């Protein structure tokens, strides 16, 4: 049966993610356009992004938070290039983005003493194998598999290595244990539905100590340089960005942060994302064809929810035919205007991925789910007819 109810907002992309409920371009009307970001009001806007983010995320007062170029990718690479090499590093990966950081460290930052702790899509590597004497690089939430670390219990409080955590699809939807994290990064385009191109970099006092006491053996481009004459450039963490940011994006980021405050801050954001996950979980329990790709319930993402298609007809198809089937399903959903960008990432097993972070309304998730069944049935009918 074709459902009658449609999501009010059909945007379920895992990045750029849905704008916050009620957003319109009018929220940008006060943007400081045509002015220098280094003017007093320009710097004030940048500081506002930093301070509102810090408060919302309940970041310790002695952590630095700065705005950097290149979105989350820029922030992670800045950290890897600036910090790694002082100790060995454990690289955790279980999906495409963690894999990207492995690639950087093992192929670009040679020679670094590294260990790989990897797992296939749907699983986590053995977190207990992480060595607290070594640095650790990991994503908090694997955006392309829908598998997140359940908590930070596996990270030693008295570790000597630094933990570098790519939290771009976790921040503002999941609680981050700051005492376990030395470097945390995220991008504006993700969980608060901001605009792309800008990244955030949080540093613990121990990460700053490393920056001030260690010089990596490779060159650092200007965009990555956080120290001058062996001292941290504090201005970067006080709104003095290394290069020019878009003041339009800054205005949008401030709007998204104010919205986040209005829904109850971090508690409200986490509750909204977890509520969305619960709605999908209730549907998945009764589904004959879809299962969470995340095998262990505690590791199921509440932002990038990834569903595997387990129907025997589908699993018997070739990888290419599975990919094409999913594309055909998502094309039907797009043609109906009920759900955009729902195909899994090209690197992950063909399936459905629903972004369910806090900017997505639970009523929209609930309205989407019968449409997934409809698209699947349409696809089965088409296969039988062929
Ligand atoms: C875990 C993770 N890391 C890094 C990225 C790259 O982020 P950006 O494109 O904002 O640099 C993404 C984007 O989806 C991601 O999900």
pLDDT digits (tens, 9 = 90+) for 107-162: 999 889 999 999 999 999 999 999 999 999 999 999 999 999 999 999 999 999 99
Helix (H, G, I), strand (E, B) or coil at 49: helix
Query: How far does residue 245's CA lie from ligand 1's centre (Å)?
Result: 19
Write the CA distances from 165 to 98, 107, 151, 251, integer angstroms.
Answer: 10, 20, 13, 26
Query: How far does residue 226's CA lie from ligand 1's centre (Å)?
Result: 22
In whole angstroms, what is the distance from residue 164 CA to residue 202 CA?
10
In whole angstroms, what is the distance from residue 45 CA to residue 239 CA?
8
Say yes or no: CB of residue 163 within 6 Å of ligand 1.
no
Q: What is the DSSP string of 292-358?
A: ES-SSGGGB-SSEEEEEE--HHHHTS-HHHHHHHHHHHHHHHHHHTS-BS-BPPTTSPSEEEEE-ST
The residue nearest atom 7 of ligand 1, judged by CA position, is 72
Write the CA distances from 40 to 3, 34, 64, 68, integer angstroms.
Answer: 53, 14, 21, 19
Query: How far does residue 65's CA lie from ligand 1's centre (Å)?
Result: 18
Q: What is the DSSP string of 244-267?
A: PPPHHHHHHHHHHHHHHHHTTHHH
pLDDT at 312: 96
Strand partners for 300: 147
Tell whether omega for the bond before 328 is within 30 degrees of 0, i.e. cis: no
Query: How far does residue 72's CA lie from ligand 1's centre (Å)?
Result: 6
Parallel, antiparallel or unpaired: strands 89-93 and 135-139: parallel
- pLDDT beneath 70, residues of the chain: none
pLDDT at 110: 81
Instruction: Give the ligand 1 atom nearest the CA of 196.
Output: 10
Query: How far does residue 260's CA lie from ligand 1's centre (Å)?
Result: 21
Instruction: Give the ligand 1 atom nearest the CA of 190.
Output: 10
In the structure, how many helices (H) and strands (E) does the chain have? 9, 14
Instruction: Give the ligand 1 atom nearest the CA of 15.
Output: 14
Cβ atoms 84, 136 nearer than 8 A: no
pLDDT at 384: 85
Say yes or no: CB of residue 168 within 6 Å of ligand 1.
yes
Identify the helix (H) or strand (E) that includes residue 65.
strand 64-69
């Amino acid at each position: 049966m074709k459902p009658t109810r449609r999501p009010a907002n059909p945007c379920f992309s895992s990045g750029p993610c849905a704008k916050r409920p009620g957003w319109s371009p009018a929220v940008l009307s006060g943007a400081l356009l045509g002015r220098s970001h280094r003017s007093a009001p320009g710097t004030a806007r940048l500081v506002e992004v930093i301070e509102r983010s810090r408060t919302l995320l309940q970041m310790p007062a002695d952590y630095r938070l700065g705005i950097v170029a290149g979105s989350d990718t820029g922030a992670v690479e800045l950290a890897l290039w600036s910090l790694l090499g002082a100790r060995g590093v454990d690289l955790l990966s279980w999906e495409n983005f963690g894999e990207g950081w492995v690639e950087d460290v093992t192929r670009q930052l040679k020679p670094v003493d590294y260990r790989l702790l990897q797992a296939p899509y749907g699983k986590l590597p053995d977190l207990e194998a992480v060595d607290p004497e070594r640095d650790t690089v990991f994503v908090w939430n694997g955006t392309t598999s829908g598998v997140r670390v359940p908590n930070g219990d596996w990270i030693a409080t008295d570790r000597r290595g630094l933990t570098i955590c790519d939290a771009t699809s976790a921040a503002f939807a999941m609680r981050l244990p700051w005492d376990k994290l030395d470097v945390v990064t995220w991008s504006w385009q993700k969980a608060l539905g901001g605009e792309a191109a800008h990244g955030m970099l949080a540093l613990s006092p121990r990460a700053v100590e490393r920056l001030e006491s260690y010089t990596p053996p490779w060159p650092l481009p200007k965009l990555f340089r956080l120290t001058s004459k062996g001292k941290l450039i504090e201005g970067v963490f006080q709104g003095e960005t290394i290069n020019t940011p878009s003041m339009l994006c800054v205005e949008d980021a401030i709007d998204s942060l104010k919205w986040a405050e209005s829904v109850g801050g971090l508690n409200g954001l986490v509750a909204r994302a977890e509520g969305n996950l619960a709605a999908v979980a209730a549907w998945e329990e009764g589904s004959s064809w879809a299962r969470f790709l995340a095998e262990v319930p505690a590791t199921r993402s509440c932002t990038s929810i990834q569903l595997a298609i387990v129907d025997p007809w589908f699993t018997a198809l070739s990888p290419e035919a599975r990919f094409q089937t999913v594309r055909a399903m998502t094309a039907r959903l797009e043609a109906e205007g009920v759900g955009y960008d729902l195909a899994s990432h090209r690197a992950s097993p063909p399936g459905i991925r629903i972004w369910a972070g806090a900017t997505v309304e639970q009523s929209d998730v609930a309205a989407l789910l019968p449409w997934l069944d409809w698209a699947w049935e349409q696809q089965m009918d088409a296969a039988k007819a062929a």
